Structure 1
Amino acid sequence: MTTHPRIEHHPDLAEMRTRFERVTSTPRAQAVEALALITGLYLAASPWIAGFSGLGPLAINNLIAGIAFCVCMSGLGSAYERTHAMAWTAVALGAWTIVAPWVIAGEMDTTRSVVSNVITGAIALCLGLAMVALGGERNREVTP
């Protein structure tokens, strides 16, 4: 009977965790995470900030999507090696935010709701893609 080492002790996994830890501890990664949290909070509160809370389904959608975006992006900085796939969920939430006024509100949409969702969705999409790109980055060490 042979015993195989557990996956947690595989050298490639340890190297990948170390690399992700280095990448997410950079100021750029921390800035992306902070901007993403602010974007998610704005998305959740946007119906009341931009003044389109009368559109019930769209307001509820923005509240749920904003909270989900915050949850997806908040765990990435502390445990990116285990949660990097959630960055793709953040990208999908950003894309959904862009099209939501037309899908959910239909003819009841207002200019404020469309502008708010398109701008916020584009920012969320870009921040999600930035976090995905950070995971694929190799740590470039400068040699003297």
Structure 2
Amino acid sequence: MTTHPSIEHHPDLAEMRTRFERVTSTPAAQAVEALALITGVYLAASPWIAGFAILTPLAVNNLITGLAFCLCMGGLGSAYERTHAMAWTAVALGAWTIIAPWAIRGEMDFTRTIVNNVITGGVALCLGLAMVAMAGRNEARG
């Protein structure tokens, strides 16, 4: 019977952690993370900010989606090597935010909700894609 060394000691893993640390320590990555957190907080509070605060299914959806977006993007700066796949989840949450007014039916002011969700979802989608692209861009250079 042979024993296999732990994956924690593999040289490629150490190199990958170093690369991800370089990615998240750049001002661009920190700016994307900060903007993403602001976007998530706005999305969660948007029913009350944009004026569709009655407890509709879309208001509940925006609250939950905004908090989930904050959780996905919030851990990227401190532990990107373990959470970079969550940036793809943030991309999916941004896309969901865009289509949610059409997917969720209920009493709502479609003008406010559509404009709010399409703009906020577009920003969230772009920020998620920016964070996903940062690892690939650095990988090509390094």
The bucket for the TM-score relative to the shorter chain is: over 0.9
Structure-1 residue corresponding to 2:120: 120
Structure-2 residue corresponding to 1:6: 6
Conserved in 2, the CA contact under 8 Å of 1:91 and 1:124?
yes
**TM-score where L is the length of structure 2:** 0.94
> C-alpha deviations, 1:70-120, integer Å up to 9, x for none?
000000011000011100000000000000011113674420111000000
Conserved in 2, the CA contact under 8 Å of 1:73 and 1:90?
yes
Structure 1 counterpart of 2:111, one-letter code:
T
Instruction: Provide the identity percentage.
Output: 82
- Give the direction of change, closer, same or farther, for the CA distance of 1:39–1:69 in structure 2 (3 Å limit): same
CA distance in 2, matches of 1:108, 1:36: 26
Report how many aligned residue pairs link the two structures.
141
Q: What is the Cα deviation at residue 53 of structure 1?
A: 1.5
CA distance in 2, matches of 1:41, 1:126: 16
Structure 2 counterpart of 1:133, one-letter code:
A
CA distance in 2, matches of 1:39, 1:87: 14
Structure-2 residue corresponding to 1:136: 136
Structure 2 counterpart of 1:78, one-letter code:
S
Q: How does 1:65-76 map to 2 (within 5 A)?
A: 65-76=65-76
CA distance in 1, matches of 2:45, 2:108: 19
Structure-2 residue corresponding to 1:102: 102
**Which runs of no fewer than 5 residues in structure 1 stay unpaired?**
none
CA distance in 2, matches of 1:8, 1:64: 35
CA distance in 2, matches of 1:101, 1:55: 14
CA distance in 2, matches of 1:109, 1:102: 12
- Give the direction of change, closer, same or farther, for the CA distance of 1:110–1:48 in structure 2 (3 Å limit): same
**TM-score where L is the length of structure 1:** 0.93
CA distance in 1, matches of 2:61, 2:108: 15
**Which runs of no fewer than 5 residues in structure 2 stay unpaired?**
none
Conserved in 2, the CA contact under 8 Å of 1:101 and 1:117?
yes
Q: Stretches of 4+ moved more than 6 A in 1?
A: none
Structure-2 residue corresponding to 1:25: 25
